[in-house]
Amino acid sequence: MGSNNKQVILKSYVNGSPKESDMELKASTIELKIPEGCNDAVLVKNLYLSCDPYMLGRMKKLDGHYVDSLTLGAPIIGYGVSRVMESSHPDYEKDDLLWGFVGWEEYTLITNLTTCFKNPTQRRMAGMTAYAGFFELCTPKKGETVFISAASGAVGQLVGQFAKLMGCYVVGSAGSKDKVDLLKNKFGFDNAFNYKEESDYNVALKRYFPDGIDIYFENVGGKMLEAVLNNMRIHGRIAVCGMISQYSLAQPDGVHNLFNLISKRIKMEGFLVMEYYHLYPKFIEMVLPHIKKGDITYVEDFAEGLENAASALLGLFSGRNVGKQVVVVARE
């Protein structure tokens, strides 16, 4: 007879808009001990779970997606920070902190540690995503103009601050007055606007970029991408990080003006952070001094308890979160 282990289960594959009823809080039990003969495993207590837009993809029944679909009836899986309770793996010992894929539950037995790392306080997916997408794909230059959609999100807020450090002119879009204020007052964007208050994105972009956009950090897709393409400058670069406005649509919006890619010689490139982890030391070297000096800041949005995890995840798709959305399972 094991210990209680609350879990957030995937109850049914998401079809169209994700709903809380696609997930279920379930009381289960777990033996708090690594089974006999189970080598290279760790048993962890989960502390913090990361809510990320890409997770919706795994909650759908899809073929050919870049990550596998989750298993029905099993816990949601995502990035988390956890504490090692017991280890049969030579790299880990009791009380180590671990960062990697864990279940949305109180305790997880991890038998495949290839996606896990020690020392998680330094290992931030959002930061690395912002770094790789902005510096590697967009090759920014001082004085260039940068537009970021979903700019107050986990990635966007960092891209904007990186761009300001580079000497770029930076404008972000977000979905509420509070987020717009945050961008302008806390993150130092040159300007920001609430896309929900704009009837025509073209008009909004022309207001903030009368001479066009050099770099677009794409987090939303759809109609915003279409408007941005019309407002890009020659030799513009688009890093395609996400398309959150599209994930819940049965039929994603059509983008009708891709001819801009030719007429303006635009490079548009998608990426996944997992392919850039080799740049992690470079990223840390660049970002740590700025964090210590306080000229890079970070806003996180905490939801307390697995009971609120499903709702926190869904909040990403209606823009309810302000900054990085995290679920606190336990504080230590």
Binding segment for a copy of itself (CB under 8 A), chosen from 15-23, 115-123, 251-259, 296-304, is 251-259
Which one of 13, 32, 57, 320 is in contact with a copy of itself (CB under 8 A)? 57
Residue 116 · residue 100 · CB < 8 Å? yes
254 binds a copy of itself (CB under 8 A): yes
- Using the CB atoms, write b or e for 94-122: b if 16+ within 10 Å: eebbbbbebbbbbbbbbeebeebebebee
120 binds a copy of itself (CB under 8 A): no
Place of tokens 């816990």: 75
d(CA 54, CA 70): 12
Which one of 68, 197, 275, 304 is in contact with a copy of itself (CB under 8 A)? 275
Which one of 11, 45, 184, 264 is in contact with a copy of itself (CB under 8 A)? 264
Binding mask 8-37 for a copy of itself (x = CB under 8 A): ------------------------------
The terminus-to-terminus CA distance of the chain in angstroms comes to: 24
Specify the residue, 275 or 307, whose C-beta has the smaller distance to a copy of itself.
Answer: 275
- For 110, half-sphere exposure in the C-beta direction (CA atoms, 13 angstrom radius) is 34
d(CA 154, CA 166): 19
Binding mask 186-225 for a copy of itself (x = CB under 8 A): -----------------------------------x---x
Which one of 30, 97, 165, 240 is in contact with a copy of itself (CB under 8 A)? 240
Specify the residue, 91 or 275, whose C-beta has the smaller distance to a copy of itself.
Answer: 275
Min separation Cβ 246 and a copy of itself, Å: 7
Which one of 203, 272, 288, 291 is in contact with a copy of itself (CB under 8 A)? 272
Min separation Cβ 127 and a copy of itself, Å: 18
Q: H or E segment at 204?
A: helix 201-208
d(CA 132, CA 118): 21
270 binds a copy of itself (CB under 8 A): yes
Residues near 185 by beta carbon (within 8 Å), at least 6 away in sequence: none
45 binds a copy of itself (CB under 8 A): no
61 binds a copy of itself (CB under 8 A): no
Residue 173 · residue 224 · CB < 8 Å? yes
268 binds a copy of itself (CB under 8 A): yes
Min separation Cβ 331 and a copy of itself, Å: 34
Residue 85 · residue 32 · CB < 8 Å? yes
Specify the residue, 53 or 140, whose C-beta has the smaller distance to a copy of itself.
Answer: 53
Tell me the CA distances in angstroms from 219 to 148, 150, 270, 308, one per residue in order.
8, 6, 11, 25
- Identify the sign of the CA torsion 128, 150, 172, 146: positive
Which one of 185, 207, 265, 304 is in contact with a copy of itself (CB under 8 A)? 265
Residue 159 · residue 187 · CB < 8 Å? no
251 binds a copy of itself (CB under 8 A): yes
Residue 236 · residue 259 · CB < 8 Å? no
Binding segment for a copy of itself (CB under 8 A), chosen from 103-111, 186-194, 266-274, 304-312, is 266-274
Query: Which residue type does 104 have?
Result: W
Q: Which residues contact a copy of itself (rule: CB under 8 A)?
A: 57, 65-66, 221, 225, 234, 240-243, 246, 251-272, 275
